[in-house]
Chains A and B, each alone.
Chain A
Amino acid sequence: MRLAGAIAAAVLLIAASSVGAAEIAAAERRSGYSFMTPDTRAIQDDDTANPGMLFVLDGESLWKQKTGAADKACADCHGDARGSMKGVAARYPAFDTQLGRPVNLTQRINLCRAEHQQATPLAYESRDLLALSAFVAQQSRGIAIAGGSDPPLEPFIAKGRELFMQRQGQLNLGCANCHDDNWDKHLAGSAITQAQPTGYPLYRLEWQSLGSLQRRLRSCMIGMRAQPYDYGAPELVNLELYLMSRAKGMPIETPAVRP
């Protein structure tokens, strides 16, 4: 009896610390784009009005620019990004066999810089890193997300899912409280949305800049009054990976615009 009581208590504890959320059905998934006003959609739809395209243009010139001790440009190995980078962003974060863990697109760019260009890594959220990742990701525009298909990624997706369901911070909220359970509602006038990572790096009008998915995740954690993980932390990469596997099949929109 006592044992059964302890088990029941433990089950209750687990239920209290994670969110008992109903996950979004495949047919009900919607990009953040569909929650926006027609005005904001118009900015994203027109490549000459979308300020994210300014970063893509910068990224294109960085792609061809020789750098580092090896004096090599991205284009020297990868050639024309229109062909070689097509679909790449749709399958990141990807498993790195040397590191034994998943890396996201910006980390891959920095690994490439270190190994092949012998250049210093670019800082997270620096203009150059955002520009390069936007240029690479834009080559996958319209391609279905295929994140998390690699079998070694499975335990990391599970960890990311756990973090998504985990209550945290002074407000004691989990990501799923808003983005699985209440995505059809509003929070202080703003649409809550489903947290589908289809357009990153994306231009937020509020930021007046392009920003990565990790910047978005950290902002959400600060909003929950939790201590955000550092840029590049494995926890954030796992969360990115879970979100990409959750959005599997949705088309990439990079560079998206959000309010």
Chain B
Amino acid sequence: MASALINVPPRARRGDIIEIKTLMSHVMETGYRRTATGETIPRNIITNFVCRYNGVEIFRAELFPAIAANPFITFFTVATESGKFEFEWIGDQGFAETASATIAVE
């Protein structure tokens, strides 16, 4: 039951610097922990996050085991034109999630 929370301003003026906030539901299991019986809990993390603005990649992040559960990633960009932000999270054990948000630029 993965779910994402995205915060992109619905409208902006051309040239404005806007903040984009993303929150993804994920356990981010490090792979270093063991169960009570001594077996290693397999690593299960998000490894890559990408944001595209009208198809053009504007932000990319690689994630590692020291990152807390439910990673919260925020970044800034310049509002250039109306259109769509697409977000993609890729991780261990076949994890792949996408989300999108639209912006109107005046």
Contact = CB atoms under 8 A, between A and B. Distances in A.
A48 interface: yes
Closest 10 CB pairs of A and B: A48-B7, A208-B69, A54-B25, A51-B70, A48-B5, A57-B3, A58-B1, A48-B21, A208-B68, A54-B3
Given A46-B7, A57-B5, 10 more contacts: A43-B72, A49-B21, A51-B25, A51-B69, A53-B23, A54-B23, A127-B1, A208-B28, A208-B69, A209-B69
A80 interface: no
A58 B25 CA distance: 10
A127 B1 CA distance: 10
Interface string B60-98: 000000001110100000000000000000000000000
Contacts of A43: 72
Given A54-B25, A61-B1, A49 B70 contact: no
A58 B70 CA distance: 14
A205 interface: yes
Task: Categorize the interface residue count of chain A.
Answer: 10 to 19
B12 interface: no
A116 B28 CA distance: 36
B20 to A, nearest CB: 10
A184 interface: no
29 contacts: A43-B72, A47-B5, A48-B5, A48-B6, A48-B7, A48-B21, A48-B23, A49-B5, A49-B7, A49-B21, A49-B23, A51-B23, A51-B69, A51-B70, A51-B72, A53-B5, A53-B23, A54-B3, A54-B5, A54-B23, A57-B3, A57-B5, A58-B3, A61-B1, A205-B68, A208-B28, A208-B68, A208-B70, A209-B69
Interface of A: 43, 46-49, 51, 53-54, 57-58, 61, 127, 205, 208-209
Contacts, number: 39
A148 to B, nearest CB: 34
B22 to A, nearest CB: 8
Contacts of A208: 28, 68-70
Nearest to A207: B69
A256 to B, nearest CB: 15
A42 to B, nearest CB: 11
Contacts of A54: 3, 5, 23, 25, 70
Contacts of B7: 46, 48-49
A49 B7 CA distance: 8
A49 B3 CA distance: 13
Contacts of B72: 43, 49, 51
Contacts of A127: 1
Contacts of B25: 51, 54, 58
Contacts of A46: 7, 21
Contacts of B69: 51, 208-209
Contacts of A49: 5, 7, 21, 23, 72
